[in-house]
Amino acid sequence: MAKREGYEKNAKKTTIGGQALIEGIYMRGPDKTATVVRRPDGSHVVREKDYVPAKKKCPIFGWPFIRGIFVFGASIKDGVAELLWSAEQSGEAAETEPTKLDRWVEEKVGARRAEKAMMGFAVALGILMPIALFILLPTLLSAVFDFTGHPWLRSLAEGVLRMGIFVLFIFLTSRMKDMKRVYGFHGAEHKSIHCYEAGEELTVENVRRHTRKHPRCGTSFLFVVVLISIIVFSFVRVEVWFPAVTAKAALTLIRLASRLVLLPVVLNVSYEFNRLVGRYDNWLTVALRWPGLAMQSMTTREPDDEMIAVAIDALSRVIPEQGGDEW
């Protein structure tokens, strides 16, 4: 059977989603999460948790054009936590003697607090790095190499740089040896969800027949964020807002600040865009989600049977018995 791109006609659309980890997969369902990691001996180690969506804790977190930033923040927080745990369980985390700094921190604040501090640092890094790399760096470079002084040309250069940096980053990570297995698990995650949405039994044979690309993917979301940011930022003219400011350095700082201020808008619009093109199947939504699916050619790889078995194990644990996972 040929592999199919995007959703199949009449296939169920589910709210279940996941993330590839180090030798494992994290799946999140409507009321439960499950992380399954493959150990070197072939066995699976599992961590399951109850899950309460943010919108159930506070209704405003579920409002359109507001919920996107909260979903993004929660995804980063949970994803980093499961990534670190998978590294420990898979044996990838090296066993090394604690440094003097490690011992000092544990003595002063305690092992538990030190662990929470490191987790907080990792989460902050997971949020700040993409902002610095894909949002702030292009703005800074476009100002440094602006030889025309024309606002629209600078905006165009900034957009080209932003998209170029994003594509280059994806390409370079796809060439890294260690990331190839992660991207294999990424492909297994997508294939298993497609199989579930098609209403087929979750077996290795059935899962393997499906495409490794999925519209509701983090790669597609990041691509949309970059694209939406180019559109939104192109209309931001700090020269008009602050006509008295003429120093190039000062204008550059204002532009950087404007990017940070507008980032929640970009994230929320991108989230709603992804939901729209992922929910409907017509010529327009197919065309709109094509670039994101094309990017997944680099961030997913064809998985082996063991990777698929991990994906099936994780997915099976978060499927609700009483339904309720329809999108």
pLDDT of residue 132: 93
Confidence band of 280 (pLDDT split at 50, 70, 90): confident
Query: How many distinct structural domains can be found in the chain?
Result: 1
In a domain, residue 285? The reply is yes
Decide: residue 137, CB within 10 A, 0-12 exposed, 13-18 middle, 19+ buried. Answer: middle
In a domain, residue 249? The reply is yes
Confidence band of 241 (pLDDT split at 50, 70, 90): confident
Report which of residues 156 and 298 the model is more confident about: 298
In a domain, residue 244? The reply is yes
Mean pLDDT of 246-259: 87
Q: pLDDT, tens digit, for every residue of 3-39?
A: 445 555 557 889 999 999 999 999 999 999 999 999 9
pTM of the shown model = 0.86
Q: pLDDT, tens digit, for every residue of 162-199?
A: 999 999 999 999 999 889 999 999 999 999 999 999 99
In a domain, residue 3? The reply is no
Q: pLDDT, tens digit, for every residue of 91-109?
A: 755 454 555 655 555 565 6
In a domain, residue 114? The reply is yes
The C-alpha atoms of residue 27 and residue 265 are separated, in whole angstroms, by 27
Interior angle at CA 269, CA 63 and CA 123, nearest 5 = 80
Q: pLDDT, tens digit, for every residue of 29-72?
A: 999 999 999 999 999 999 999 998 888 888 898 899 999 999 98
pLDDT of residue 55: 84
In a domain, residue 324? The reply is no
Q: Which domain holds residue 287?
A: 17-318
The answer to whether residue 211 scores a pLDDT higher than 80 is yes
Tokens of residue 252, six digits? 């550059």
In a domain, residue 173? The reply is yes
Select from 271, 320, 303 the least CA-distant residue to 20.
Answer: 303
In a domain, residue 323? The reply is no
The answer to whether residue 245 scores a pLDDT higher than 80 is no
pLDDT of residue 3: 43
Decide: residue 26, CB within 10 A, 0-12 exposed, 13-18 middle, 19+ buried. Answer: buried
pLDDT of residue 143: 86
Pairing relationship of beta strands 44-50 and 24-28 according to DSSP bridges = unpaired
Average pLDDT, rounded, for the chain? 86
Report which of residues 11 and 204 the model is more confident about: 204
